[in-house]
Amino acid sequence: MPPHSVPDTRSETPAIPAELERPQLLEMYRYLRLTRVLEERLVALYRQSKVIGGLFRSLGQEGESVASAYALERGRHRDILSPLIRNLGSMLVMGARPIEILRQYMAKAEGPTGGRELNVHFNDLEKGYLGQISHLGDMVPVMAGITLTFKMRGEPRVGLVYVGDGATSTGSFHEGLNFAAVQRCPLVVIAEYNHWAYSTPPEKQFAVKDLADKAKGYGVHAVTVDGNDVLAVYAATRYAVERARRGKGVHFIEVKTYRRKGHAEHDDQSYQPKDEIERWAVENDPVDRYVKQLVANGWAEESELAEIDQAAKDEIDQATDACVNDPLPQPETALPGVYAHPPAAERLWFRGL
């Protein structure tokens, strides 16, 4: 069972749960705020046609992205996670920089993939994140393979992979989770029950009540957690990660949360009841709840949080200014890098006419 926070009645300030220190609480807050501000900037850029292609917000889910990633051992050549499009927060935690994300979204030549992929589909394996491809569920087998090598080499490293409630329907999810379970890979699976897979609600997606029920079918340790309780998610992930690191195999954490925006920015969410969205926004926003918790428990001052807010805005402004006018890639840069050898694809004859 994950540890609970037991209020210390002897002192005025309750003890911070899950062995966290105050600076860490503030650091997590910074990542939450940065995620939200960056996404709002991305929306503005999208509406100015600077972000091309789709934009997928994680509004309402930032808590579980940041908190789960924060529970990993970060740094070069340590733990590795594989984010989905709504896990921007987790990438920031692992060291992705806002300017990289902006450049990637705006298809800039200097972006992490040179304009070849969109959204947050990019990676830095040394820092510890492996961007997804659009085929949901595919990252589970891949992370099974990555964590298999940790085991083969006897390294105390752990992998973490996110899946949405829709992704748990795919064949790749099933095969990957089964494979990892059988091989006892050090893999933590965060299943984000956010109620909506595009326009498909849970009752049309699966016949179980909780995603954790599915996981039991694979013989893996599974729990369900309030996804909008930052510290609860952190504690549960920390627990699972440490067990996996000790060789206890795959762990499955279902986080209950809610997708407050449409599938993408061009989706008007007409299938989502407006009052439902409203209720989650008002009563159950992960960032608001965290702020209340920090302040109420005396773990942070409002002024500190306001400073962090401002710093986040400034950081995003600077990052945007630094790259918004950068050029798009030169056309012929489309040809190299398909193989290690030969170095570039052939330019076709009619382009030379």
Partner 1 sequence: MARVDVLMPQMGESIAEGTLSKWLKKLGDDVKRDEPLFEISTDKVDAEIPAPTAGTLVEIKVQEGQTVPVQTLVAVLETEKGAAASAPAPAAAPPAPKAEPAQAAKPAPAAPVPAAAVTAPVPRPLSPVPQSSSVPPKGDGAETAEERLRRRSTPLVRKIASEHQLDISQISGTGFAGRVTKQDILGFIERAPAAAAAPTPGTRPPAPGVEHPAVEAWPGDRVEPWSKIRRITADHMIMSRRVSAHVASFFEIDYTKVALLRARFKAAYAERGVNLTYLAFIAKACAANMRKHPVINAAVSGDSTIYRRDVNIGIAVALDWGLIVPVVKHADELSLLGLARAINDLGERARTKRLSPDDIQRGTFTITNPGGFGPYAGIPIINQPQVAILGVGTIEKRPKVVTQDGSDAIAIRTMGMLTMSYDHRVVDGADADRYLADVKAMLQDFPEQEM
Partner 2 sequence: MAEVTFLEALRQGLSEEMERDERVFMLGEDIGAYGGAFKVTDGFQKKFGAARVIDTPISEAAIVGAAAGAAHMGMRPVAEMQFIDFISCAYDMLTNYVATARYRAGLATPIVVRGPCGGYVRGGPFHSQNPEAAFLHTPGLKIVYPATARDAKGLIKASIRDDDPVLYLEHKWLYRRIKENLPEGEEILTPIGQARIAREGKDLSIITYGATVWKALEAADQLAQDGPSVEVLDLRTLLPLDDDAIVTTVKKTGKVLIVHEDTRTGGLAGEITARINERAFEWLDGPIMRVTAHDVPLPYAPTLEDYVLPQTEDIVKAARWLAKY
Q: How many Å apart are CA 318 and CA 186, to the nearest integer?
A: 39
Distances (CA, A) of 288 to 36, 133, 205, 210: 12, 32, 30, 25
Nearest residue (CB) to partner 1, 171 versus 331: 331
Strand pairing class (221-226; 80-82): unpaired
Active site (annotated) includes residue 243: no
Active site (annotated) includes residue 266: no
Check: CB of residue 28 under 8 Å from CB of residue 300: no
The reply on whether position 76 binds partner 1 by CB under 8 A is no
Q: How many Å apart are CA 325 and CA 108, to the nearest integer?
A: 9
List the single partner that 341 binds among partner 2, partner 1, none, CB under 5 to 8 Å by kind: partner 2
Q: Shortest Cβ distance from residue 39 to partner 2 (Å)?
A: 22
Helix, strand, coil % over all residues of the chain, rounded to 5: 45, 10, 45
Active site (annotated) includes residue 70: no
Nearest residue (CB) to partner 2, 296 versus 353: 353
Nearest residue (CB) to partner 1, 35 versus 228: 35
DSSP letters for 46-73: HHTT-S-S-----TTTHHHHHHHHHTS-
The reply on whether position 318 binds partner 2 by CB under 8 A is no
Catalytically annotated residue among 30, 121, 263, 290: 263
Residues 219-255, buried b or exposed e (16+ Cβ, 10 A)? ebbbbbbbbbbbbbbbbbbbbbbebbbeeebbbbbbb
With CB under 8 A as the rule, give the number of residues binding partner 2: 40
The reply on whether position 330 binds partner 1 by CB under 8 A is yes
The reply on whether position 48 binds partner 1 by CB under 8 A is yes
* Pattern 142-171, partner 2, x by CB under 8 A: xxxxxxxx--x------------------x
Check: CB of residue 161 under 8 Å from CB of residue 139: yes
* Pattern 85-124, partner 1, x by CB under 8 A: ---------------------x------------------
Q: How many Å apart are CA 7 and CA 15, to the nearest integer?
A: 6
List the single partner that 47 binds among partner 2, partner 1, none, CB under 5 to 8 Å by kind: partner 1
The reply on whether position 49 binds partner 1 by CB under 8 A is yes
List the single partner that 266 binds among partner 2, partner 1, none, CB under 5 to 8 Å by kind: partner 1
Which tokens go with 40?
């709002």
With CB under 8 A as the rule, give the number of residues binding partner 1: 34
Closest by CA position to 317, among listed 37, 54, 43? 37
Q: Which residues contact 13 (CB under 8 A, 6 or more apart)?
A: 297, 298, 299
The residue from 10, 266, 274, 341 that contacts partner 2 (CB under 8 A) is 341
Q: Shortest Cβ distance from residue 347 to partner 1 (Å)?
A: 5
List the single partner that 172 binds among partner 1, partner 2, none, CB under 5 to 8 Å by kind: partner 2
Footprint on residues 333-352 left by partner 1 (CB under 8 A): 346-352
Footprint on residues 245-274 left by partner 1 (CB under 8 A): 262, 264-268
Strand pairing class (221-226; 159-164): unpaired
Where does this chain bind partner 2 (CB under 8 A)? 113, 116-117, 121-123, 125, 130-131, 133-135, 138, 140-149, 152, 171-172, 175-176, 178-179, 182-183, 337-342, 345, 349
Residues assigned a catalytic role: 259, 263, 271
